[in-house]
Structure 1
Amino acid sequence: MSRNSFETMNIFPERFNAATVFIDSHVNEGRAKRPAIFCGERVVSYGDLHENVNRFGNVLLDRDIRMEERVAILLPDIPEFAFAFFGTMKTGAVAVPLNTLLGPNEYEYMLGDSRARLLVVHAALLAPLLPILGRLEHLKHVVVCGGDIGGYPRLEALLQNALPTLDTADTSRDDTAFWLYSSGTTGFPKGTVHLHHDMVVAADRYAIQTLGIEGSDLSFSVAKLFFAYGLGNGLYFPLRVGGTSVLLPDKPMPDAVFGVVDRYQPTIFYSVPTSYAALLQTAEREGRTSLGRVRMCVSAGEPLPKPLFDRWLARFGVEILGGIGSTEALHIFISNRPGEARGGSTGRMVPGYDARIVDDNGTELPPGEVGTLLIRGDSIASGYWNKHEQTKKTILGEWCDTRDKFRVDEEGFYTYAGRSDDMMKVGGQWVSPTELESVLQQHPAVLESGVVGIVDAQGLTNPAAYIVLKEGLAASPELALELQVFVRENTAPHHYSCWIEFIDDLPKTATGKIQRFKLRRMSGKQPMASQQGQTPSQPIMRGNVDLDEKSQREDLPAISRSELGVQADSIPITTRPMTDVVARLERLTTTEERWDHLSAYVRSQLAMVLGVDDPSSIDTESGFFDLGMDSTAAVAFTNRLEVGLGHSLPATLLFKYSSPNTLVDYIVDEVLAQNADRGAAFEVGQAADTSQSSSQGASREALNKVKRLSDQELEALIDRKLQR
């Protein structure tokens, strides 16, 4: 028996339920009136928390949710998350928090895979689920929080009517308490199964013994509760010591984050490197040098660059304690210590965890050599739900293969060296290069591609795709932009930003494997490679290619569908016929009508991205970033507009057209005219691929489409043709 298992058996009784420690104990020990959660104007005391956890448990029992059955939780960072999370556990059922940033396909997979019988969802997050709910055979109950929608029962009313007392289920320390979905190299999320004792181990070893968190601390986490990292930071760490947590349900924009810091004066601040960089940029611009009462900053989710560590410390006088954790380990297992932090280092082992650095044969390596990190500790998941082979590859007896490359020095400080399987962590999310390559392979112009993570000037990782085109096709800035749009359309939100560069051949081993380390060496240095001996007129740079005005107005170069052997429905967005949105706009007769209709459409898309219930409440004169837009939301918003308008938009769109009104002006003046041109071109091109008689019919329709253009659109079309 391992040392850690022996310790756990002595700490935990055989019959154990996590809600007893994190919820019930505070009332029993006289902390009922102490604040547990601040959220906006709401203050939830430990007594309130205890009562509502019990009420939620009774809501489940009233609906015959039984032990070990799954309860899916799709909520922002609000007190109801805590009610549902611990209320589920207290009944012996299994809580399954879901990422709030996903789309219908991901939710359908997770809800089906988990066989959740009940879903509690916020009204603002329900829309992506509506098309799929009828296909989920195991889902029997949907409860909505935060608004009346679809006739579903309201959580608030159910809680109010439920009993405030609840007997704790007779669970063991090794019963399943909750799952956290973690994406993997296959692109399919894995249900990572955690037990009732896991949170206590993580909280005691890391929060208490490593960070020194106390009951007097006020914790604030930028990382959201559905992440393993944020779940500890914002919920069970402070609950373990009788402390208080501040929850921010909104997007963690710098102004909002600093607003929480100023209003609530937290003492411990948790974030990720991407957010730290954004906060630092804002502070430098505004001359801010204080974090109030913050005594400790913590970072995880991706490696913390040393320049960022140094600049933060110089400006605020507070160290960022970088560390590494995982969904499988539940939280951080290697970390810097207060007063001993080293920039660029992940720190030392957290008490209660062990590590080995091994080579490809499993042989332990000496200090200074890079190898794969294996860890051991009693918060490690029992496995992946219904993924036996992947469980065997990750859980190696009492050891867990992190697939991270590390080295350790003689003093026991660990330094991150990359991913064993070439996964990239971008904005705290794992991104699989093979998944992006498989998407790019679907584009009719791409022969093959190699994707790696490259580091920008801030020290943060971004995906870069090196493209080999099919014979006879030439590289161009327009094609690079088209490929970026194609990636955005066919991948999850955190894959949107992608550099594109063209090369003649991918570097490979003798067995045909891509040598990604050679691609990484090219990062940012490789200009757009010549193709067929031709020298391009300008390089392909980062994913947000900023074309000049002329190249933005020109049509993308046509690629014959018959030459590529593809069907009409696989044609890239830039050569497709007009969308329903554009068709509706073209039926309007005046510019004013078009402007008003388009303004309403832009507001509706913006509301969906920002989580605004009433699109008409959006101030169209305000700047996008003043309305709460962040970089992730900006990409999602741009992607929605591209799909709706059938038009590639520049990645710098919201910087050039910084308010909804200026954006609508741009779309009316530029995009609609180009779409009209492309729609006619599509009809003509389609005709060229069919028989002469059908060609004549299609051509007549294309000519009719041109006839329907306004004078302004027709003039723009003629100008572009003359420029060629």
Structure 2
Amino acid sequence: MYTDNAAAMLLERNRERHPDKAAFLCGERSLSYRELERYSRLFALLLRERGISPGERVLILLPDSLAFPVAFLGCLLAGVTAVVAGTALTREQFEHILNDSGSRLLVTDPRLPSPLPPEQSRVGLLVCDDRDRFEPPEGHDGEFAADVPPADRIAYMQYSSGSTGVPKGIPHRHRDLLIPCDLVGREILGLSEQDRIFSASKFSFAYGLINSLAFPLFFGATAILIPDKPDAAAILELMERHRPSVFFSVPTVYSQLILSCGSDRLELSLRLCYSAGEALPAAIFHEWHRLTGLELLDGIGSTEMSYIYISNRPGRARPGSAGQAVPGYRIRLVDEDGRAVPSGTVGTLLVKGPTSCPCYWNLPDKSGETMLPDGFLRSGDLFLERDGFYYHQGRNDDMIKAGAQLVSPLPVEEALLSHPSVAECAVVALSVGGLVRPGAFVIPSPEVQGNPALARRLRAHLLERLPEYMCPVSFTFVEQLPRTPTGKIQRFRLREPAQPKGA
């Protein structure tokens, strides 16, 4: 089944089982499986009418609305590569993605403040209406024979968040949309058609695309969509209205939900909560469990691998750990020379599995550095393994060389978060008197004043838990941390020269 057109498979299996069931809920509106299939096939016909051929690219710039799955699945049905991008792009990012992907058509929403193709370009424009629908082609009843893709046909392409540079195009085949449903959705999460799935992570990211599109369609479940960037209040209001059973998000959002709660107990309809995107601090794990009674599963994946490849299991989650390797994936931890490191030793993570992307789009040198000849992919993440569980130690480029010692920011941040006056934090390398030392950027907890007295208390707190060389020599109190749209901290922006406050 992994050799089929993924869109055709996902749509046809639900047509027979429950055509009138809601596939997607968005605000007050819904889209049934019958409607989803019809509109997706009409969209494929629109592409043919526009002269878009199999193998060509279409850039989808849509919010998480009912229009997105129609456009995405319609592209796949037509054999056209769906290029997915977020809606908060700068003009420079938009033009880079448009030009780099070679897209023939831009699909967007008139309500977005989205950039339009340059007037001199030959890129066409297709816009949905205010009901998230596309004008159907005349004289067609929606019948469309799905493209039969060759094994190497690119089905979709996403662009990395660009946390340290220009976004990279990461292409995937049809099977990469389906395999995570079996390996993670079925075998680890136990998803079924009874579930209502809500992902705060958006379609434009690999984590959100699998959560909100592949999972519900594969299992015949229902997905809950929210077009805007949700805050804690909006998420809780939506949960109260639609009562999801499964929630996917990132550590930052779980932290915001915890901080927004004004009582000792948060009653939710959920049976399962999942976190990915960056390492989940143990402090958030414990506080979420205290507040909700729910276990918070952590995992790690990447756009390059399509989805999660290391995950905790329900009932066996270890706080502070990303979990164990997902069956079907091989994990190696290696030193700078590519030699395997022993258990309990930090090494760079290499991963190999059935959903690996074939290359970076138009970047052969970067592809050669990352996609190794033996099929392993170099992740750039540092991990430590104990008893088959993996513990994230940061990124290679985030490590701090403090004198003769190498410091990972993550255990320092974990220790800081254990102090009740710290809501969020990030630790980076700063130059102090010509020497490189750890520096901390801290968002104080509500009603806590960031000042020199708090800085002294935090340093004393850390000195009780960490060696002195790991303790930040400066504390800068801030209102927010720079993050990518996926929630990852952009540490490179914090390394820019700044005057510490309260240090």
Q: TM-score, normalised by structure 2?
A: 0.81
Aligned to 1:133: 118
**Which among 369, 379, 401 is matched to residue 393 of structure 1?**
369
Q: Distance in 1 between matches of 2:484 and 2:348?
A: 31
Gap regions ≥5 residues in structure 1: 1-10, 149-153, 425-451, 471-517, 528-540, 546-629, 634-650, 652-724
Aligned to 1:402: 379
Aligned to 1:263: 241
Q: What is the deviation of 1:25?
A: 2.1
Q: What is the deviation of 1:30?
A: 2.9
Deviation sequence 1:110-167 (CA, Å, 0-9, x none): 0011111111111232x4414x5225x341x11222459xxxxx95334797542211
Aligned to 2:12: 24
| C-alpha contact 2:128 2:135 (8 A) present in aligned 1 | no
For residues 520-531 of structure 1, what are the structure 2 equivalents within 5 Å?
A: 521=470, 523=472, 525-526=473-474
**Which structure has the bigger radius of gyration?**
1
| C-alpha contact 1:17 1:173 (8 A) present in aligned 2 | no
Q: Distance in 1 between matches of 2:425 and 2:144?
A: 47
**Which among 171, 182, 191 is matched to residue 213 of structure 1?**
191
Q: What is the deviation of 1:460?
A: 4.7
Q: Distance in 1 between matches of 2:263 and 2:58?
A: 44
Q: Distance in 2 between matches of 1:632 and 1:172?
A: 35
Q: Does 1:53 align with 2:30?
A: no
Aligned to 2:268: 291
Q: What is the deviation of 1:54?
A: 0.3
Q: Distance in 1 between matches of 2:206 and 2:61?
A: 15
| C-alpha contact 1:202 1:331 (8 A) present in aligned 2 | yes
Q: Distance in 1 between matches of 2:44 and 2:264?
A: 48
Q: Distance in 2 between matches of 1:159 and 1:39?
A: 25
Q: What is the deviation of 1:48?
A: 0.7
**Which among 325, 337, 354 is matched to residue 361 of structure 1?**
337
Q: What is the deviation of 1:224?
A: 0.7
Q: What is the deviation of 1:57?
A: 0.6
Q: CA 1:138–1:389 in structure 2 vs 1: closer, same or farther (change >3 Å)?
A: farther
Whichever residue aligns with residue 407 of structure 1, its letter is L
Q: Tell me the C-alpha RMSD between the 2 structures.
A: 2.9
Aligned to 1:542: 477
Q: Distance in 1 between matches of 2:56 and 2:468?
A: 46
| C-alpha contact 2:298 2:311 (8 A) present in aligned 1 | yes
What SS does structure 1 have at the residue aligned with 2:378? strand
Q: Distance in 2 between matches of 1:164 and 1:247?
A: 25
Q: What is the deviation of 1:318?
A: 0.7
What SS does structure 1 have at the residue aligned with 2:111? helix
Q: Count matched residues.
A: 438
What SS does structure 1 have at the residue aligned with 2:289? helix
| C-alpha contact 2:2 2:178 (8 A) present in aligned 1 | no
Deviation sequence 1:24-61 (CA, Å, 0-9, x none): 2211x332112111111112111011001101111111
Q: CA 1:88–1:204 in structure 2 vs 1: closer, same or farther (change >3 Å)?
A: same
Aligned to 1:114: 101
Q: Does 1:69 align with 2:47?
A: no
Whichever residue aligns with residue 337 of structure 2, its letter is N
What SS does structure 1 have at the residue aligned with 2:17? coil
Aligned to 2:463: none
Q: What is the deviation of 1:86?
A: 0.8
For residues 557-706 of structure 1, what are the structure 2 equivalents within 5 Å?
A: none
Q: Distance in 1 between matches of 2:88 and 2:322?
A: 28
| C-alpha contact 2:43 2:134 (8 A) present in aligned 1 | no
Q: What is the deviation of 1:422?
A: 2.4
| C-alpha contact 1:56 1:162 (8 A) present in aligned 2 | no
Q: Distance in 1 between matches of 2:93 and 2:350?
A: 30
Whichever residue aligns with residue 402 of structure 1, its letter is S
Q: Which moved more, 1:177-186 or 1:354-363?
A: 177-186
Q: What is the deviation of 1:363?
A: 0.9
Whichever residue aligns with residue 217 of structure 1, its letter is D
For residues 127-526 of structure 1, what are the structure 2 equivalents within 5 Å?
A: 127-130=113-116, 133-135=118-120, 137-139=121-123, 141-147=124-130, 156-158=134-136, 163-183=141-161, 187-283=165-261, 285-292=262-269, 294-397=270-373, 398-410=375-387, 412-422=388-398, 455=413, 457=417, 460=424, 462=426, 466=430, 521=470, 523=472, 525-526=473-474
Q: CA 1:184–1:78 in structure 2 vs 1: closer, same or farther (change >3 Å)?
A: closer
Q: CA 1:160–1:145 in structure 2 vs 1: closer, same or farther (change >3 Å)?
A: farther
Q: Does 1:86 align with 2:73?
A: yes
Q: Distance in 2 between matches of 1:73 and 1:210?
A: 31
| C-alpha contact 1:59 1:162 (8 A) present in aligned 2 | no
Q: What is the deviation of 1:544?
A: 4.6
Deviation sequence 1:167-192 (CA, Å, 0-9, x none): 10121243100001014576111100
Q: CA 1:366–1:165 in structure 2 vs 1: closer, same or farther (change >3 Å)?
A: same
Q: What is the deviation of 1:421?
A: 2.6
What SS does structure 2 have at the residue aligned with 1:210? coil
Whichever residue aligns with residue 221 of structure 2, its letter is G
| C-alpha contact 1:120 1:143 (8 A) present in aligned 2 | yes
**Which among 103, 106, 109 is matched to residue 90 of structure 2?**
103
Aligned to 2:493: none
| C-alpha contact 2:311 2:325 (8 A) present in aligned 1 | yes
Q: What is the deviation of 1:462?
A: 3.5
Whichever residue aligns with residue 135 of structure 2, its letter is A
Q: What is the deviation of 1:254?
A: 1.0
Q: CA 1:84–1:520 in structure 2 vs 1: closer, same or farther (change >3 Å)?
A: farther
Q: Distance in 1 between matches of 2:426 and 2:158?
A: 25
- In terms of fraction of residues, the more helix-rich structure is 1
Q: Percent identity?
A: 37
Q: CA 1:303–1:632 in structure 2 vs 1: closer, same or farther (change >3 Å)?
A: closer
Deviation sequence 1:169-216 (CA, Å, 0-9, x none): 121243100001014576111100100111111111111111111111
Q: CA 1:159–1:35 in structure 2 vs 1: closer, same or farther (change >3 Å)?
A: farther
| C-alpha contact 2:49 2:137 (8 A) present in aligned 1 | no
Q: Distance in 2 between matches of 1:352 and 1:167?
A: 32
Q: CA 1:112–1:162 in structure 2 vs 1: closer, same or farther (change >3 Å)?
A: farther
Q: Distance in 2 between matches of 1:356 and 1:97?
A: 30
Gap regions ≥5 residues in structure 2: 401-408, 435-466, 486-500
Q: TM-score, normalised by structure 1?
A: 0.57
Q: CA 1:330–1:138 in structure 2 vs 1: closer, same or farther (change >3 Å)?
A: farther
Whichever residue aligns with residue 91 of structure 1, its letter is A
Aligned to 1:500: none
Deviation sequence 1:497-529 (CA, Å, 0-9, x none): xxxxxxxxxxxxxxxxxxxxx999463x327xx
Q: CA 1:250–1:162 in structure 2 vs 1: closer, same or farther (change >3 Å)?
A: farther
- In terms of fraction of residues, the more strand-rich structure is 2
Q: Distance in 2 between matches of 1:423 and 1:178?
A: 33
